[in-house]
Amino acid sequence: ISWMSKSALKILDTAERLFNENSFVGVGVDLIRDESGCSKTTMYTYYKNKNQLVKSVLTARDEKFKQSLFQYIGAAKGIYAINKIFDWHMEWFQQDSFKGCLFVRAVAESSQSEQDIISISKRHKQWIKDLVSEHCLSAGHQDLSELIYTLIEGLI
């Protein structure tokens, strides 16, 4: 994200906020343009259509999510890391901006023809599942991996 221009980043941040507060389907590019303060020309210079903007929002959200969670876990391993993963999620749920999982909502609001959006969301969820599995394995409790992942997802 650091390589992006200020305008592209402003559009991306505005789109993420609006999609999170409302929905993907309910937010049009005109609203994003108006809220970001960018011209339609500027918007389409960086994002050729809404689908590309949604993909960019999800990709950026995935990067921020991973960075934040890795930072929170720190050097913790095994059960300590699992506890940190739960704690991180509990803190997220208490934020005023929490409106559920943007990735789940993206899939729910996408059509079957939007496989690129669905794929980004699936990769995000698989990453979380793999992270939980890795720490369950290091704690000697690989058998609990699926249960813990399901609990985390169910809390969302």
**Which residue from 47, 58, 50 is spatially nearest to 120, judged by alpha carbons?**
58
pLDDT in tens, 73-110: 999 999 999 999 999 999 999 999 999 999 999 999 99
* pTM as predicted: 0.91
Would the pLDDT of 1 be above 70? no
**Which residue from 146, 123, 8 is spatially nearest to 66, judged by alpha carbons?**
123
pLDDT in tens, 100-150: 999 999 999 998 888 999 999 999 999 999 999 999 999 999 899 999 999
Tell me the H-state helices in the chain: 6-21, 29-36, 40-46, 50-73, 78-93, 102-109, 115-138, 145-155
The mean pLDDT value for 20-49 works out to 93
Percentage of the chain beyond pLDDT 70 is: 98
* Angle between helical axes of 50-73 and 115-138 (0-180°, round to 10): 10
Region for 155 from its dihedrals, namely left if φ exceeds 0, alpha if ψ lies in -120 to 50, beta otherwise: alpha
**Angle value at C-alpha 26, between 25 and 31, nearest 5 degrees:** 115
Q: How far apart are the first and last CA of the chain?
A: 26
